[in-house]
Structure 1
């Protein structure tokens, strides 16, 4: 079994770390708030005081943080950054949902230090992370992926090689954009059906049985109708990811990504209405609740 460090113990990172322990790996963890590590420590993990300290003996380092800014700090901070503390034969793995531009910059920084780097963002949310059923969207060298895949399989059921570094981020942002667009459309339609006086539950059931629907749309529709908005994928993070996807399109992004741009406006409106901590499905409240 390997020595593994996990940096970031949020909703996803903590569950990924727990599965690494279950698989028998030796684990060191770091998180900004130490309390997030309590259950992992009880299960056998060691807690480090900084990212650099966490990676000192690691064969593999996995980061799972909120955004580009947090990723830059944990890897490259002058005093505590992990990259400067890695062993020369270690593998740095970035699993956060980030921009391709930053991923490529981080890969260059790793290369300059002689450190092997792989991006491995995931498709799947908290339930999939809990059940070790994540889908990995990997960017980097195939040979390095072959070395790393057994570790990833301790946390997921599928590992897809998307291409060179940056390709994983491109695919991940595309996946999240598609999910957000479906959520916005379903929320809008539920609101419309409600205003028209339709039997909304029955109408949505029929829609879900047609080729126009998708498994994700059906799952989100059920959540919307049930009014269960536990933040598996919070609205504020949907907005962040749509923003990254639109930025990825570059100059004239509103022209190249008009649907994603429109979807982001919907989610930003939801944030303005106090829905930022709701699950992605909470956006239905924009269309079903009195203003």
Structure 2
């Protein structure tokens, strides 16, 4: 008898290992501070602020999340400095095992703009499917499904405009995931953009990955390529580096200063413009991120 199949990742998480390796822990666009706290009554607060180094604009948000684990209920309320009010209600494993209901809304009072999206997620061994209904845009119905068996993944996504009565977007993906490595191939944008990604856990202390993107609609020919690596210096610190075919080199360093306090620093250099008089711009970027969690 074969072993039970695990629940595969969702559509958005196919290729997640490579995406996280190449996309996270590079705070190169500005300075960010985030504070997370929680109360004994299952309420968690998160306050975040970000200063964009290019525009010098400062943005922030305040989030409160209440979790009722007994009844599978999560309620999240967010208020941003751009006066956007976001609410999210999640209910999981109450109607049926593996089924999650999610209602996400957003309101901009001074502009009268609003949005509401109903999400359904159903997970079982070998299956992960989601459905989204945008009530005010279209309305548009989007669904994606991922099937998994013995590490192999096959997925697809499609959006249908109810008013126009036609499919407006579709995509597909295949992949393979193992404890030490993962590969994925995506066909996005109505199969006009193709992503290929690879992730390898070389050792407990070293990870490597790469991504290639080919856009059939691009004005310039060729494939965009990016490779990167992550190395743990010790249990509290790691460094990351990546470079793409345009010559942009990014470096990241993350250090746990103490339990609950983490600092990250990032630097991006255009290796084709290293002779610019200003070493940090406009071709180069630098930033930092500090997270406090209690």
Assess same fold via TM > 0.5. no
TM-score (normalised: structure 2): 0.23
Which is bigger in relative contact order (C-alpha 8 A, separation at least 6)? Answer: 2
